[in-house]
Amino acid sequence: MKSPKKIFILSPHIDDAAFGLALTISKCANNKVPVTIINCFTITKWTAIHVDNKEINAVSLLRKNEDASFYKTFNGNINIINLDLLDAPLRNGYIFQEQPFQPNELALIEELKSLLEMHVDGLLLCPLGIGNHIDHAICRAAVVKLYRKIDVLFYEDLPYARRIKHDQILEHIGELEQELGVSFTNQTDGLLNCSVDKEQAIRLYKSQMNEEIASEIIAHLNDLKGERIWGESQVFEALKTILA
């Protein structure tokens, strides 16, 4: 008997999968497709708004509780794996990648690659790395190393994708295509077979949400009339089969 078809979503931080793919997750849940969220850099004290306790343990737990609240809104088989890696400000004091990967970051890429090999046995959705956040870049680099071994599609990092022009997104896609030696197409999943209000859902991440971030994510959704995913055409066929 074949194992059930599964979707895995690589989320650099708690909230990235939700910001980029809330409607897609809803569609999977409504189609009874098992979804596993792999949250990577979950040891953190980063918040977008003031919180009473900024200690690492308190913020990390707060964010995990927000994540659990988000996924409770779906009537589906959703599993959460928290890898409990240190996020960028705690590792090295910077967030955005302005230089080649440093030795500790190369080691993290290899560690994450090994963890993904351990956990992923289905189609993987990976962030594109738009926005130059070092943690997002590490996630993408780990997946690039596994690209020939698993089915991979890429989702747009939000709110970062909203902050650049469409031509810049295409340049980013072109660089990834060249790195992988492939050609991508894209697909925009809209509101059909979704049972979640994306704005209401992402606001469950209260410590990470302000009006600017919320408006950017929803504006991107409205402009595209859905959530845009990139990848090779045969992998989209695999996704279509899973959701059938």
Looking at residue 135, its amino acid is D
My answer on whether omega of the bond before 103 falls inside 30° of 0, hence cis, is no
Is pLDDT at 174 greater than 60 in this prediction? yes
How many percent of the chain have pLDDT more than 70?
97
pLDDT of 75 reads: 79
Whole-prediction pTM? 0.96
Write the DSSP string, 45-81: ---SS--S---HHHHHHHHHHHHHHHHHTS-S-EEEE
H or E, element range at 123: strand 123-127
What's the sign of the alpha-carbon dihedral 28, 30, 36, 41? positive
Q: Which residue has the higher pLDDT, 125 or 243?
A: 125
Least confident of 12-26, 133-147, 187-201: 187-201
* Each residue's pLDDT tens digit, 29-88: 888 999 999 999 999 999 999 999 999 999 999 999 999 999 999 877 899 999 999 999
List the structure tokens of 43: 């040891």
Per-residue model confidence (pLDDT) at position 72: 92
**Count of alpha carbons within 13 angstroms of residue 62, beta-carbon side:** 20
Listed in sequence order, the residues at least 6 apart from 35 whose beta carbon sits closer than 8 Å to its beta carbon are 6, 7, 8, 9, 25, 28, 29, 76, 77, 78, 79
DSSP state of 162: G
Quote the pLDDT of residue 3. Answer: 47
Q: Cα 206 to the chain's mean position, in Å?
A: 18
Residue 76's pLDDT is what?
75
The tokens for 146 are 């596994």
Pair of tokens at residue 107? 């080691």
Reading the block at residue 113, the tokens are 């690659």
Predicted confidence band at 243 (pLDDT cuts at 50, 70, 90)?
confident
